[in-house]
Structure 1
Amino acid sequence: MSKFQWFLYAFLVVYIVISDSDAKLQRKSVVYRTIYVDPSSKGNFKTIQSAIDSVPSNNNNWICIYIKAGVYREAVKIPYDKPFIFLKGAGKWKTYVVWDNHESIATSATFTCDADNIIVKSMTFTNSYNRSPGGSGNPMRTALAAKISGDKSSFYRCGFLGLQDTLWDVQGRHYFKLCSIQGAVDFIFGSGQSIYERCTISVIASSLKGSVGFITAQSRTSPNETNGFVFKDCKIVGNGQTFLGRAWRDYARVIFYNTSMSGIVVSQGWSSWGVPNGDENQLTFGEYYCRGPGSNTAGRVKWANRLSDDLLNQLTSMSFIDDQGWMSKQVFNMLD
């Protein structure tokens, strides 16, 4: 066989392998089927949970559950054995899921997501126990809007509304884009490895009647853990006064990057609340390239804002959550 024939043979083999891989990825990336939720009985199901329950266990094809505009008064859970679900609402402020459980962070969430490879778009999850803040007649309690513990999950144009412990970003790699997150105390908390991009952080600390709020309570427990919260190109708005975060565990890590901060942010910025023996130097709390009246770092605690350029670049790049390319394998053509 001539050199040209060998070259042609090798080229065809590589082409077939790549084409086969692309075909498998394409099959994986398209919606296998769409289920419609409509309370008026014009869809496949009346409730979101019944639609999720219809997805077979150990599902490995993307299934879209389209949810008609409206208010759905139910607790919704995606169990760990039902990955590759795409929940798609009619709009952030058009499709609402509302529930009012409280007291336990393990069981009170309006939306619980334990599965890997989940996409949620254009809907809002509300825990109504303390809604409206100060006007519900209920004492402030732990009352989650969402609990996210699966890996490789993305949220686009979603709302998470609560007062205390609104969003439990438990664990796993997560991406939040153009989301609205509202609360007063520890309302973004957990050990997730997450990027929040162009999100609105809405503080309602005035409902605390003179007490100061906390946006984050991150719970990294070891310097070897890769998790942390990164807020990129976000904005902090609202009322009352708030800390950017406090340490729930010994090695908490939170970064605000290129974020607009209103004057509600207290001058200290951060609290070492959960750190034993006051060893704040093991915390990673930082603000870089931020703006607005709340971004003045002159009065910040001494142990904040000490990241090297290399670590800052590492934490604020998409590779922080996507070094394996899982986001590129998700169905971005469905998100338009």
Structure 2
Amino acid sequence: MGSKKTCLAVLIVVLAVFSSTNFMVPVLLSSLRDLSLDAELFTCLSSGLSPLFGWHLGCHHHRHRHKHPDDSQRTVSICDNFPPDIPPPETNTTVTLCVDRNGCCNFTTVQAAVDAAGNFSQKRTVIWINSGIYYEKVTILRTRPNITFQGQGYLSTAIAWNGTASSSGGTFYSGSVQVFSNNFMARNISFMNIAPIPNPGDVGGQAVAIRISGDQASFWGCGFFGAQDTLHDDRGRHYFRDCYIQGSIDFIFGDARSLYENCQLISIAAPVPPGQKVINGAVTAHGRASKDENTGFAFMNASIGGTGRIWLGRAWRPFSRVVFAFTTMTDIIAPEGWNDFNDATRDQTIFYGEYNCSGAGANMSLRAPYVQRLNDTQALPFLNISFIDGDQWL
């Protein structure tokens, strides 16, 4: 498509994600400048984004080669400052593959590096991903276990796509990244779905940033950006630490057994005028379907903030199980706290508990009658990595 049409398309998806939170925009704008965009497109993007968020890029952009100011005979490559020790040599336990969109190492796309990992390899394949936004859909098949995504900071490295339930054949298939293998790990990277933010009740607007369907996955210092159904914590045992998770409706959902420690949970649901009791979001929608399933979400030392008037969770399936412990909650949490998916028969089977939480949203005096104020004994199984058998694999 022409530069102006491309510019408009990019602006639309960028604004869809960053209309409510813009702290990653400087990174995005810097990333755009590093791409090999034609001058008309870059000028359009920078002029369209910079006034909105208060940053100025200027109208020039990087070329792969340019003249050195002090030596007209010397050419300088964009790769000159690339870390000299990346990728490190292969060892008996690890092999490192390198991804850089400017072509400074083995691969320019994340999917190409994933495809190069060995089938059922017993070594850990570390995919080192340089700073930038990698606009692609990435799938890790179950035949490729023991993969690590190593980014350069969740505000610097991101994988983004714009799939929706409508465009992908269902919510479960809309993920920008889909992980079906075991022993996946991610550090210092963001997963984004930049599809337009749907209104509550919209059909087909669900848009997953990542789907995690393998066992023993862990995420350290990662970001998850989307709106409805951001993080599909599908199945298996998973661990999240020091992560930033953003969304609006059911933005952490699935039937996994997962522990979230020291994570920020940020609602981008539309602000609700004072005095109105409308609900326009929910943090969790856990999908435990029977009492025999050992699944659930446990949140330790989390913080919940942002906008809207939301629930901590709603019972997607009848035996939904979620616990919040030592969590700070702002007043965006509705007084009743939780929802049984408007099915009173689930009140006897769901397990929703709170333990030693604080903040204006943690007042339990008006909580729904099925919500449990946990005592020390009830809370203990959810308070450490033993909840996910982490002492065996983490």
TM-score range, shorter chain: 0.7 to 0.9
Amino acid at match of 2:235: Q
Out of 167-176 and 299-308, give the one that drifted further: 299-308
**Cα distance, 1:246 vs structure 2:** 0.3
- 1:40 is matched with 102
Q: Distance in 1 between matches of 2:110 and 2:234?
A: 23
SS at match of 2:171: coil
State the TM-score, normalizing by the size of structure 1.
0.83
**Cα distance, 1:311 vs structure 2:** 3.4
- 1:169 is matched with 233
On the 8 A contact 2:355/2:373 being kept in 1, the answer is no
Amino acid at match of 1:108: S
Q: Distance in 2 between matches of 1:166 and 1:156?
A: 17
Q: CA RMSD in A?
A: 2.0
Q: Distance in 2 between matches of 1:100 and 1:313?
A: 40
Within a 5 Å distance, the mapping from 1:203-242 to structure 2 comes to 203-206=267-270, 211-242=279-310
Indicate whether 1:314 and 2:376 are aligned: no
SS at match of 1:305: strand
- 2:248 is matched with 184
Q: Return 5+ residue gaps in structure 2 as ranges.
A: 1-90
- 2:339 is matched with 271
State the TM-score, normalizing by the size of structure 2.
0.71
**Cα distance, 1:59 vs structure 2:** 1.1
On the 8 A contact 2:319/2:346 being kept in 1, the answer is no
Indicate whether 1:109 and 2:175 are aligned: yes
**Cα distance, 1:42 vs structure 2:** 0.9
On the 8 A contact 2:279/2:311 being kept in 1, the answer is no
Amino acid at match of 2:293: E
- 1:282 is matched with 349
SS at match of 2:292: coil
On the 8 A contact 1:248/1:274 being kept in 2, the answer is no
On the 8 A contact 2:142/2:180 being kept in 1, the answer is yes
**Cα distance, 1:205 vs structure 2:** 1.3
Runs of 4+ in 1 over 4 A off after TM superposition: 207-211
Indicate whether 1:149 and 2:217 are aligned: no
On the 8 A contact 1:101/1:109 being kept in 2, the answer is yes
Q: Distance in 2 between matches of 1:79 and 1:236?
A: 33
Out of 259-268 and 215-224, give the one that drifted further: 215-224
Q: Distance in 1 between matches of 2:283 and 2:210?
A: 15
The one-character-per-residue Cα deviations of 1:230-283 (angstroms, maximum 9, x if unpaired) are: 0000000101110000001111000000000011000000000064x5240211
- 1:331 is matched with none
- 1:52 is matched with 114
On the 8 A contact 1:166/1:182 being kept in 2, the answer is yes
Q: Distance in 1 between matches of 2:322 and 2:299?
A: 8
Amino acid at match of 2:220: Y
- 1:334 is matched with none
- 1:92 is matched with 154
Q: Return 5+ residue gaps in structure 1 as ranges.
A: 1-28, 328-336
Q: Distance in 2 between matches of 1:86 and 1:256?
A: 28
**Cα distance, 1:30 vs structure 2:** 7.0
SS at match of 1:182: strand
On the 8 A contact 1:101/1:127 being kept in 2, the answer is yes
**Cα distance, 1:192 vs structure 2:** 0.6
Amino acid at match of 1:241: R
**Cα distance, 1:313 vs structure 2:** 0.7
Q: How many residues align?
A: 294
**Cα distance, 1:320 vs structure 2:** 0.8
Q: Distance in 1 between matches of 2:242 and 2:390?
A: 22
Change (3 A) 1:264 1:109: same
- 2:124 is matched with 62
Q: Distance in 2 between matches of 1:123 and 1:86?
A: 11
Change (3 A) 1:55 1:274: farther
The one-character-per-residue Cα deviations of 1:14-44 (angstroms, maximum 9, x if unpaired) are: xxxxxxxxxxxxxxx9752111101111111
Identical pairs, percent: 36
